[in-house]
Structure 1
Amino acid sequence: MTARTTRLDAGVREAMRALSAATKKGLGDAALAELVQIRASQLNHCAFCLDMHLTLARKHGVSERQLDLLAAWEEAGDDVFDARERAALALTEAVTVLTDGFVPDAVYERAAEHFDERQLAHLVGLITVINSWNRLMVSRRIPAGSTEW
């Protein structure tokens, strides 16, 4: 499988970067932001984003144990992911997959217990942005570590 040569327009790339930065800043938790972006990227099979966000997660102090168990976060113990992280990851999966065509109320309400209204809006924004990045990279088959995107 080779990368497709269509480069992302510079204006689109910069707008996406600005939106990503704004949602991360508004969430106010860099480590959690990376966990959310990694989990969405796992679900979307985006090697480019996984590679980038795993590196960033380590820089932000996310433990190797969390990174190792992220794909099985629901089965990992409460000593691995706390209630706030679990709520964010559940919301990430619900927004990313949209199996039923909507985010279940219980998932959204669980997240609302751990995030104030502003943080929750930024979390939903962050999940939406990483899903967009994943689709931009996967559709063009951009490989991990690529500088040609």
Structure 2
Amino acid sequence: MSARMKFWGRQPAFYQAQLALTTAAKKGLGDPVLAELVVLRASQLNRCAFCIDMHVKNLRQAGVSRQRIDLLPAWEEAGDLYSARERAALAFTEAVTVLTEGHVPDAVYERAAAHFDERELAHLLAVIVAINNWNRVNVTVRQPPGQEL
């Protein structure tokens, strides 16, 4: 399979801006594993094969257990496999990514705010927004997993 177009190569300024956006968002979050869990979960929801492949590899390289990676789609039923902070971030990720209710429910926002101070929560939101940008482009152009952008 090949991509429909080489979007990132046709939009180098946008690509650089997207990289900078992602780097800034993740840096402020502090916990690289949490950031990778969040971007993997959003990518799963958006069915972005390219990003799922990349972030699974990143988590493996960071030493995250196979069980935590494999059970991420069922994080709510996985008990203490994910910390309360991670579960709050994952619930927030799902609410921001899917927006099925037309908004992020107050309970989900409050749960995240209980685990992240306002600065951290702003970075978490920025990470979620950034990965959704990547996902939407890569899904649209059908970017194949494992290939260079």
TM over 0.5: yes
| Structure 1 match to 2:133 | 132
Kept in 2, the 8 Å contact 1:31–1:61? The answer is no
Give secondary structure in 2 for the equivalent of 1:101. coil
**TM-score scaled by length of structure 2:** 0.95
> Which whole-Å CA distance do the structure 2 matches of 1:115 and 1:62 have between them?
22
Structure 2 counterpart of 1:5, one-letter code: M
Question: Which amino acid in the other structure matches residue 127 of structure 1?
Answer: I
Matched ranges for 1:1-149 at <5 A: 2-8=2-8, 9-78=11-80, 80-147=81-148, 149=149
Q: Tell me the number of residue pairs that the alignment of Structure 1 and Structure 2 aligns.
A: 147
Report the CA distance between 1:7 and its aligned residue: 2.3
Cα distance in 2 for partners of 1:70, 1:46 equals 15
Q: CA deviation at 1:2?
A: 4.2
RMSD (Å), alpha carbons: 1.0
C-alpha separation in 2, matches of 1:5 and 1:77: 42
Distance in 2 (CA, whole Å) between partners of 1:50 and 1:62 is 15
SS in 1 for 2:60: helix
Does the 8 Å contact 1:31/1:57 carry over to 2? yes
| Structure 2 unmatched ranges of 5 or more | none
Q: CA deviation at 1:72?
A: 0.4
